[in-house]
Structure 1
Amino acid sequence: MPPKVLFLTLKVFGFTGGIEKVCRSICRALYDLGEENTLEPTVYSMYDKYFERDSRYLKKQQYQGFNEHRKYFVIKSLLKGIRSDVIILSHINLLSVGYLIKRFSPKTKVYLIAHGIEIWRKLPEPKLKALNRLDKIIAVSHFTAEKIKSIHGIKAEKIEILNNCIDPFYFFPENFSKPEPLLKRYGLNPNQKILMSLSRVVSSEKYKGYDNTISILPQLIKKYPEVVYLIAGKSDEEEKLRLEKLIIKHQIADHIKLIGFIDEAEITDHFLLSDIFVMPSKKEGFGIVFIEAMASGLCVVAGNKDGSVDALKNGELGKLVNPDDSNEIEKTLNELLKSPLDHEEKIALQKSVLKAFSYEKYRESIRKLIQQ
């Protein structure tokens, strides 16, 4: 009999953040391994609605969305969990459910996916106790693994590092010309040098690095008068107002655009529109956006103090900079603007990213974790 695997999540299909993208890749891996009769998968999502399921990632009979009915989710997860062989928790906020399952069924293996800041902070004693009862913590980067060891005192043998992957349905462009509709939408011309960042633009997450990029923009403009910086991502009012004040302060209103939320279907086109993706973050757990940008043939500049190091393969795939050193960021951007990638180099970058972070490689790692 193949092992019964229960994947417990908060959201998979109702949102498009990095954690949700990880969850979708896991769902597809479970789907494929189920087809091979390697395992018998079930996915419960606390906040998703049942009709939000994407059939590319899961069969109808493999999935249940609980539409925010948390008590019902917990009860059903407990009943299903004690009859399962392996439980995978998508987020530390599901730790208590995993702990309950482990209490009632000690032989059931319980794994937790550890992404980033959600597990880097100090935990209350009950959560720390539950964390220590887990059979395995699956960290998305070496940086996150080190944080778990140093902050929570978890032994190295309990931690498995599994880098995130490119979505199995991600579109790899072969034509790298800038999309005309987006040039028109933003009032740009094909010869302009375009920098881009994509992240949540919220007051609680000021570590993404766009502040430093804004501060060096006046110097870049002197060398590249037509340079434009696009900051994409859903914003809250407080952070938007703060950025607008920064723009006025640096007198760069003609060279920066806060373009807001981008629909998932248009993300690749925005990468193609840009010349450099720049996000020297300090608290990135991994950074799926980096590997997506590089898969679209885009130069990437990221910080060297967090999980971005894994996403850029220690600098093999892109440029790692000190996120606190504006001079280093400026120098790196100058070099990249001066020597842009040609078509062959973009194709080579795509191939390197796919080799490092392919879905097939990820699926095999999931298989090994469960077969252990």
Structure 2
Amino acid sequence: MAHKVLFLTLKVFDFTGGIEKVCRTICRSLYDLSEEELVAPTVHCMYDKDFNRDSRYLRKQQYVAFDGNRKYFVIKSLLKGMQSDVVLLSHINLLSIGYLIKRFSPKTKVYLIAHGIEIWRKLPETKLKALNRLDKIFAVSHYTKEKIKSEHKISDHKIEVLNNCLDPFYYFPKDFSKPTSLLKRYHLTTNHTILISLSRLSSSEKYKGYDNVIKILPQLIEKDPNIVFLLAGKADEEEQARLENLIKTYKIGNHIKLIGFVDEAEISDHFLLSDIFVMPSKKEGFGIVFIEAMASGLKVVAGNKDGSVDALNNGKLGKLVDPDNLNEVEQVLSELLAQPSGDVEKLALQKNVYEVFNYEKYRENIKHIILNGTIC
């Protein structure tokens, strides 16, 4: 008999952040497992609108969008959860519902997917109690697992690492030419050497590492006057002003472009445009953007103090640096820029990242979690 599974989410199709990408991949896993008649899934999404559902990831009858009606979401999820064999929580903000389901239906297995900073913060006693009542927590990286253990004193046996994967529909380019349309848009030529970072630019989250790239840019420009740093991501007003001041301070206005939000459909083209993806962060839960960049054949430089280590497979797929050591960041970037990748190297990188972070392996892990409560 198919396992009845309820997957509770905040947003899936109405937003394009890392957590939402994970949610879409889980949805597709449930879709595939339902085709094998192993799972009878239902997905409840608190904030999505029904018409934004992407049919590649879920059938209409498997998905309920609540359009921000929190009260209705809680009631329907609680009732459905008590009738389910397994409940998956996509975010710690759904913990209270999971706790109530577990309390009223002890036989139901309740699991939490833990991503990053949302679960590292200090939690009130009520949430800690609920966290300990869960059957298991699946952390997206070893760093996130260790943070949960140290911050919340959760037993090691209750936490397993479930690395994220590439979206099942991620496009693997075979032509690595720089897109002409983007060269024109940003007033660049094929003679430019292009670094890129892509992240949320928030005044409250100064750990992504792009500040340090800005600080070493003058030294990189001395070696290569054609360097341009594309800093992609929507910035809040305070962060925009701060970044503009930094650019003036380091006198790099002709070598950096704040390009703002990049539509998901254009992300891989921006990777093709660039020579290196660099984001030496310190508090990344995992960093799906790293594996997406590498899947586009792009070299990656990331920090060695957070979940980026998992995303780069402990440095086997890209370069890990001490994000606080500007000399090291500069040296590694200089070395990589001196050895541009050809098509053969880019294809090899694609193959390697696919072998580690392919969707098929992830779906098997989701299947084992549902059927056995553990990762295969």
TM-score, normalised to structure 1's length? 1.00
Deviations 1:261-294 (A, max 9, x none): 0011000000000000000000000000000000
Q: What does 1:142-221 align with in structure 2 at a 5 Å threshold? A: 142-221=142-221
1:292 aligned onto 2:282: no
Residue of structure 2 in register with 1:312 after alignment = 312
CA distance in 2, matches of 1:226, 1:299: 18
CA distance in 2 between counterparts of 1:272 and 1:119 reads 34
Distance, in Å, in 2 between the alignment partners of 1:206 and 1:157 is: 32
- Distance in 2 (alpha carbons) for counterparts of 1:50 and 1:180: 36
Counterpart check, 1:125 vs 2:120: no
Give percent identity, aligned residues only.
74
Q: Deviations over 1:209-246 (max 9, x none)?
A: 00000000000000000100000011101000000000
| Alignment size in residue pairs | 372
Query: One-letter code of the match for 1:95?
Result: L
Q: Report the alpha carbon displacement of residue 74 of structure 1 after superposing the two structures with TM.
A: 0.1
Secondary structure at the counterpart of residue 339 of structure 1: coil
CA distance in 1, matches of 2:219, 2:322: 18
- 1:334 corresponds to which letter in structure 2? S
1:252 to 2:252 alignment: yes
SS at match of 2:259: strand
Counterparts of 1:239 and 1:44, CA distance in 2:
34
Distance 1:67 1:245 in 2: 39
Runs of at least 5 residues in structure 2 that lack an aligned partner in the other structure: none
Q: What aligned pairs does 1:322-361 form with structure 2 within 5 A after superposition?
A: 322-361=322-361
User: What residue is the counterpart of 1:134 in the other structure?
Assistant: 134
1:23 maps to 2:23 = yes
State the 1:160 CA deviation: 1.3
What corresponds to 1:62 in structure 2?
62
Post-superposition shift, 1:188? 0.2
Q: Which amino acid aligns with 1:267?
A: I
For residues 296-322 of structure 1, the C-alpha deviation after alignment (integer angstroms, 9 at most, x for no partner) is 000000000000000000000000000
Equivalent in the alignment of 1:41: 41
Supply the AA of the counterpart residue of 1:271.
F
Aligned residue for 1:335, secondary structure, equals helix
How far is the alpha carbon of 1:121 from its aligned partner?
1.4
SS in 1 for 2:301: strand
Measured after TM superposition, the shift of residue 342 of structure 1 is 1.1
For residues 170 and 215 of structure 1, what CA distance do their matches in structure 2 show?
33
CA deviation vs aligned residue, 1:90-133 (integer Å, no higher than 9, x gap): 00000000001011100000000000001111110000000000
Which digits, 9 at most, give the CA deviation of each residue in 1:51-73, with x for residues without a partner? 11100000000000000000000
**Secondary structure in structure 1 of the residue aligned to 2:157:** helix
SS at match of 2:7: strand
SS of 1:143's partner is helix
Q: How far off its partner does 1:161 sit?
A: 0.7
Distance 1:55 1:267 in 2: 21
Q: Does 1:3 align with 2:7?
A: no
Q: Report whether the alignment pairs 1:104 with 2:104.
A: yes
One-letter identity of the residue aligned with 1:284:
E
The one-letter amino acid paired with 1:93 is: N
In 1, Cα distance between equivalents of 2:89 and 2:5: 11
SS at match of 2:292: helix
Matched, 1:239 2:239: yes
In structure 2, what is the equivalent of residue 262 of structure 1? 262
Is structure 2 residue 91 aligned with structure 1 residue 91?
yes
2:21 and 2:272 map into 1 onto residues whose CA distance is: 21
**Root-mean-square deviation (Å):** 0.4
Helix, strand or coil for the counterpart of 2:314? helix
Report the 3-state secondary structure (helix = DSSP H, G, I; strand = E; otherwise coil) of the residue aligned with 2:247.
Answer: helix
Distance 1:322 1:24 in 2: 32
Structure 1 unaligned regions, length at least 5:
none
TM-superposed CA distance for 1:75, in Å, is 0.1
Relative to the length of structure 2, the TM-score reads 0.99
Q: 2:321 is matched with which residue?
A: 321
The whole-number CA distance in structure 1 between the counterparts of 2:306 and 2:117 is 10
1:254 match: secondary structure? coil
Distance 1:26 1:360 in 2: 11
The AA in structure 1 aligned to 2:307 is: G
2:229 matched to 1:224? no
Question: What CA distance in whole angstroms lies between the structure 1 residues aligned with 2:315 and 2:299?
Answer: 12
